[in-house]
Structure formats: structure tokens, C-alpha cells
Structure 1
């Protein structure tokens, strides 16, 4: 078992409110974060297998965790049961965007990431 260590940055510096970002933009940001930080090991889209077989597909996380509550866990670190998890830094806006994207992967989610 490995510990996923994430650090929330930005305490004490002024930032625009998370709700200032349009929902489709936030969703696209979350997808980009998932691909950038998770895609090397996890399947990050609605289809496909994880490059690292022991790494759960992100679209299946809702079976293991209440995704809407992952923000706090992402900020504090998550205990996971597969190979080495890297440490990386996410700010509160990135955590929010990633959570929005993870919610969009649930089978009954109406939101879709815009194609570019």
C-alpha cells in the first residue's frame, strides 16, 4: 500500500473564486489535469484500460469513493493499493476541476468534456 501525497498550494495569496470558472472550462481543466498527472498509470477517459494494470480506471473511482468528497482527500493524501504513486502539487482550483471531471465520468453524468 502506498500513500498518494498531494500538497495544496496558494494559502495566503488572493485567487479568483472557483465558481468564477465556467463549468465547461472547469471540466476541460479537470480532464487536462487527469491526463497530465494521472494518465501515465490510470485510464482517464470513459473507455480504455489503465496503462498500469493495477491502477484503477478513473471512471470507476465512484465505486470506491464518494467523488464529491475527494477534494479533501486529494488535499491530504489518499492511501492506495497499487504501485508507486508520485507526489505532485495541486492548488484548490485544480482539485475542484479534477473533482468535476471525475464526477463527469460516472455513468449517469450528463456533463461532457468539449472536444477540441
Structure 2
């Protein structure tokens, strides 16, 4: 009987710990979603005129790469400095954008969320 009671208490304690860990993760997930949503809003406002900014579709400007393919060119995190200091591109009709640190973080988070996943390499 004592073993059953001890096991029951141990199980309850474990369940409470797991529940607490799950609840603690909720604010982090919500913050990540908010940051991703803010990044999407920023690229919609500033970039969608030329670039495809979602997981599908073609860019309106032929020379503007779809944002979902950027990671095939370079690491997304490497864009942070350019976003903070002003992106200058090879074509003259792209405006120069400068974003603050929070906006840069939001844009990077959004860009990471939409990247095409590379096709798995065939086994040799």
C-alpha cells in the first residue's frame, strides 16, 4: 500500500513538473509567433512590391528573388547587418532600407520561417 501511495505521489509530482515546463514554453512560443508576425508585416509593407514574400508565388520584379529562396544564396542570419545598416542591391531601382534592432530580429525570424527546405540528398 505504501508503495502505491509513494508511486502516486511521485507520478503527481512528475506530472506537475511536466505541466509547469509546458506552461513555461507557452510564452516563448507566443513571443516567437509575435516576432514572426511582425517580420511578415514589415516585409509586406516594405518589400512585397517587388519580392514574393511568402512560401509560394513569383516576385513581381523579375530581378527580385523570392524571399523563401534566400537561404540558398547565403545564411539568413548574415542579412541582419545589411538590414541594420541599409541594404544596397545590384539593381538601382531598389530603395535602401534601414531597420532598428527589433525590426531586424523580426524580419530574420520571419525569413527563417518561410525558407524552402532543401531536397534530401540521394544516398550514395
Preserved CA contact (<8 Å) 1:54 1:83? no
Greater percentage in helix: 2
Structure 1 position 61 matched with structure 2 position 70: yes
- Work out which structure has the larger RCO, using CA pairs closer than 8 Å and 6 or more positions apart in sequence: 1
Greater percentage in strand: 1
- Backbone CA RMSD of aligned residues: 1.8
User: Which runs of 5 or more structure 2 residues have no equivalent in the other structure?
Assistant: 1-27, 118-124
After TM superposition, give the deviation of residue 78 of structure 1 in Å.
3.5
The residue number in structure 2 matching 1:104 is: 113
Q: Larger Rg: 1 or 2?
A: 2
Separation (CA, whole Å) in 1 of partners of 2:37 and 2:47: 15
The residue number in structure 2 matching 1:34 is: 43
User: Which runs of 5 or more structure 1 residues have no equivalent in the other structure?
Assistant: 1-18, 109-116
Aligned residues: 89
> Any runs of at least 4 consecutive aligned residues in structure 1 with deviations exceeding 6 A, and if so which?
none
Calculate the TM-score normalised by the size of structure 2.
0.64
Structure 1 position 81 matched with structure 2 position 84: no
After TM superposition, give the deviation of residue 80 of structure 1 in Å.
2.3
